[in-house]
């Protein structure tokens, strides 16, 4: 299994509070991604990173920010959580070709905003 660890695995938070999810990899892969999975939508890309301090927006980036200060860590922050951000969040990594190759996913973080 690819070395990807997401933390926390589960979190319940209140509306309006900030939340940070962490993704840690031990594979030294260049690309890292954050997806959310919702019923009827599959997985949708929130943000991705193509190197340290290099990030870009994905399909559903509103309300989210990311940071990558080290190759191995990619943080996803919800500045002020809303109920619509209740979801399962997956981190993924891939090599130098980006996503036109297989990606490896973490086990997911289930976030509930109440």
Partner 1 sequence: DQQVKQNSPSLSVQEGRISILNCDYTNSMFDYFLWYKKYPAEGPTFLISISSIKDKNEDGRFTVFLNKSAKHLSLHIVPSQPGDSAVYFCAASKSGDNNDMRFGAGTRLTVKP
| Binding of partner 1 by 34 (CB under 8 A) | no
Q: Is 61 in the site for partner 1 (CB under 8 A)?
A: no
Those residues with Cβ within 8 angstroms of residue 40's Cβ, 6 or more apart along the chain or in another chain: none
Burial of 91-104, coded b for 16+ CB within 10 Å and e otherwise, reads bbbbeeeeeeeebb
Pairing relation of β-strands 42-51 and 31-38? antiparallel
Bridge partners, residue 24, by sequence = 5, 73
Task: Please say which residue, 45 or 75, places its beta carbon nearer to partner 1.
Answer: 45
User: Would you give the binding string for partner 1 spanning residues 68-87, x where CB under 8 A is met?
Assistant: --------------------
Of 44 and 75, the one with the shorter C-beta distance to partner 1 is: 44
Contact status: 108 vs partner 1 (CB under 8 A) = yes
Give Cα 71 to chain centroid, integer Å: 14
Residues lying near partner 1 in the complex (CB under 8 A)? 4, 31, 33, 35, 39-45, 48, 50, 56, 58-59, 90, 92, 97-108
């Amino acid at each position: 299994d690819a070395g990807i660890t997401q933390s926390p695995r589960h979190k319940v938070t209140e509306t309006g509070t900030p939340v940070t999810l962490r993704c840690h990899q031990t594979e030294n892969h260049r690309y890292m991604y954050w997806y959310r999975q919702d019923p009827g939508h599959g997985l949708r890309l929130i943000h991705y990173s193509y190197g340290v301090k290099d990030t870009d927006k994905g399909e559903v980036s509103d309300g989210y920010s990311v940071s990558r200060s080290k190759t191995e860590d990619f943080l996803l922050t919800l500045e002020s959580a809303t109920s619509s951000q209740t979801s399962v969040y997956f981190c993924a990594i891939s090599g130098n070709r980006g996503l036109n190759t297989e990606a490896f996913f973490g086990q997911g973080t289930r976030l509930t905003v109440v």
